[in-house]
Amino acid sequence: MATLEKQKGTPTPLNEGGVSGAPKNATMNPEKRILPRFWIVKKEEGDFFKDSPFAIYQQLFGFVGETKMIRKIKEGLLVETASAAQASRLESIKKLGQTPVTVTPHDKLNQSRGVITCRDLLNCTVEEIVEGMSSQNVIEARRIKTRRNGTLEDTASLILTFNKLTIPQKVKAGFHSLPVRLYIPDPIRCFKCQAFGHTTLRCNNAAVCACGKQPHEDVPCNTPFTCVNCKGDHSSRSKNCPTYKTEKAIQEIKTRENLPYHEAKKKVVIATPAQGVSYAETTTSTAKQSAGLYKEVASQLLPLVKEIVQRELEALRSVVMPPPRSRMIETPVVELKSVPIEKRKQSDRTPSPLGEESDSSQSSQKGKRGWPKGKPRKIHKVQDTDVDVNIDVVDQ
């Protein structure tokens, strides 16, 4: 089977006329430089720990203006700029007062890392992936490996490092559109002393095995285990260790909020006041305590509410209601036994006190027109002085 020959670099797209070149609607400019936000200002000799914060602030303010943050760290001054123009001015500084300094971008805070998964990328090298995604601010790629049958094998997931503070939602890998997940690294653990927060190269402590005993190469570890960090009955490599869970929470806050390690650690320590309790366990227990508190308060308030409601109901029952204000018409009560039948009939025909029947009878009589039957008409003659006119006048 013939294989496709790999071409180096990003292929040049065709424009509308079919000629190789940049498209008219191209918006991506790979040559445009993204200025970092976090910078390290370092003295060529010495450090800033004994310098006055007022003097440092005034000198930096004279060059770049008001910055977002200035902090003393081991490497020098950590400065967070507010704009690209401010970062450009800060990068050009050679001296602070009479002290020569070097200004360099921070190697970690200006980057972000995300995870993508695509089995089709197993057919590509890491260098090819970085080169193909360089226009999307990808500067590094690393495969996630897994151990199977004692050997490390590549997985379909890769860790991409972006030259920007936030990861994109998606990246293009050839014709693939891949979602990007935030990568949260594991806590840094020293393989020499088994403590967290530093590596073996910077360790000055005595060597300890993961089982809590003195190093014993080529000899398996014997129980009982003793964790170096929390003094529990498990290995120092265990992910159920409370210290490991706390360090994992520090890494998560550090990654999501883009904070230095010591700043993220302060947040976790404040949220974890009890020793030997992890950050996750603290948040879970806090939610349980809140739910228990709500139940306790509700159980205490319920009898009081019932008592108040019952008292109000009794007060409402004791209130005397006034009689209703309505127009009552008294009618005489007549015993029908003492009235003759003819009078009963006439009384039935008589109008009611309210006058409803009389009104209806009058309206019926008014509605009738014409001369009553059986009644003769009388004719009167009236003479006018000027004109003799015979007018019939009817006497009713």
DSSP 119-182: GGGGGS-HHHHHHHTGGGTEEEEEEEEEEETTEEEEEEEEEEEESSSS--SEEEETTEEEE-EE
Per-residue confidence at 177, pLDDT binned at 50, 70, 90?
very high
Which CATH number does 38-105 carry? Answer: 3.30.70
> What are the tens digits of pLDDT across the range 182-197?
999 989 899 999 998 8
Q: Note the CATH number of domain 112-182.
A: 3.30.70
The model's pLDDT over 36-51, given as tens digits with 9 standing for 90+, comes to 899 999 998 888 988 8
Residue 145, by phi and psi: left (phi above 0), alpha (psi -120 to 50) or beta? beta
Distance CA 281, CA 69 (A): 33
Question: If you average pLDDT over residues 215-236, what whole number do you get?
Answer: 87
pLDDT in tens, 281-303: 655 555 566 666 667 777 777 88
Local confidence band at 28 (pLDDT 50, 70, 90 cut-offs):
very low
The winner for highest mean pLDDT among 150-154, 286-290, 377-381 is: 150-154
Instruction: Give ranges for CATH 3.30.70 in the chain.
Output: 38-105, 112-182
Confidence of residue 377 (pLDDT cuts 50, 70, 90): low
- Single out the residue of 186, 221, 190, 227 nearest to residue 205, CA to CA: 190
Q: CA-CA distance, 58 to 66, in Å (whole number)?
A: 10
pTM, 2 dp: 0.54
Per-residue confidence (pLDDT) for residue 124, from 0 to 100: 92
* pLDDT tens per residue across span 85-101: 999 999 999 998 888 99
Coil, helix or strand at residue 262: helix
